[in-house]
Amino acid sequence: MASVVADRTWRDTDPDEIESALADVWRGIGSDGPVARAVMSNLVVLRECDAGAPAEIVATPYTETLDAIVGQHPSRVIVLWHETGCPLARGPLAARVGVTTYGPPHARYAVEHVVVRSTCDAASLPSIVRRLIRGDLPTSIWCPDDLSRRPPLHAVVAEARQLIYDSARWGDVAAGFAAVADAIGNRPVDIADLAWRRLTPVRQALRHAGDELSRDDLRAARIRIVHARRDAALAWLLRGWLATRFGWSDTTQPQIDPVDDPAAPLVLTVGAAGRESTIELDADRVLVSQHGWPPYAVGVRRETVDAAVAAELRSLVVDRTLRDAVTFLGRS
């Protein structure tokens, strides 16, 4: 589908009048010509705000990113702004609805947006989500915030089929992985980490190189990971993947060295001294220098946030490898 926005129509409304307000917006859009309602899933965008923040619904952050996401994978978007720390079980404070239209005049399609501002006990949030989602479609939750500062709300995660986040945005990766591991627990929720997607070329290169590596080479004591400080999440994910793949214990860790150079590549070194193999990842390529073989490089496709989120919405694949890695990191 096209991803170019043709028009946006927004309306403030009472939280109890969301569906009727949306119907009015649809009637106004339909008066300008035929338009198809496109929806393949529910996308709940979970945002948390500080207590005492203004109750009014203002222009939604990430609007352009959300437009690009649902232009590629049409979804009913529900942005839930939640004020934490309130012990009262009360309803939403304010709401805003909108319809975003795509495509040329002769082939228009549109998706719905609902923005809700709430302050209530977290246990009351699932009722808000259930009232707004289309029950016959899969529900994904996207948490664009730093989950090491604001952990995902367990009550909302329990309502979802999929939890999407980007660990590269976290200020404290240890706290972030612990929060995600705690939120998913034993729940049948798939997780999708955008940083994990960026690590895919390294994992593929190591699988290819692994045919020439011995089990002894792959012991934690013979593995070193060097990374720019901003790439700490990639280094942790790589460590978690290797730990679960090779059966390391929680106390068995490879050497991980952050460097201050923000342009430094992620470098994985494997093997004993004198016969090391290295895999380097930067923004443009993966460079593999394997002991006994000539080096080679593979280009890396740059993926925007909207393309990555849309791809995860389309796939809905249960990634047990990532889940195992996050569970390991959450208890490390």
Angle made by CA atoms 195, 315, 73, in degrees to the nearest 5: 95
Per DSSP, 263 falls in state T
Q: What is the pLDDT of residue 51?
A: 59
SS3 assignment, position 67: helix
Instruction: Point out the residues of the chain with pLDDT beneath 70.
Output: 1-4, 49-62, 84-92, 120-121, 210-212
Q: What is the pLDDT of residue 227?
A: 96
What DSSP letter does each residue of 130-185 carry, written as one string? HHHS-TTS-EEEEE-S-TTTSPPPHHHHTT-SEEEE-GGG-S-HHHHHHHHHHHHT
Asked whether the beta carbons of 166 and 139 are under 8 A apart, the reply is: no
Q: What is the pLDDT of residue 41?
A: 95
pTM of the model as a whole: 0.90
Structure tokens at 138: 């899969």
Which H or E element spans position 281?
Answer: strand 277-281
In the chain, CATH 3.30.360 sits at 197-299
197-299 under CATH 3.30.360, yes or no: yes
Q: What is the pLDDT of residue 2?
A: 47
Q: What is the pLDDT of residue 167?
A: 97
Q: What is the pLDDT of residue 49?
A: 67
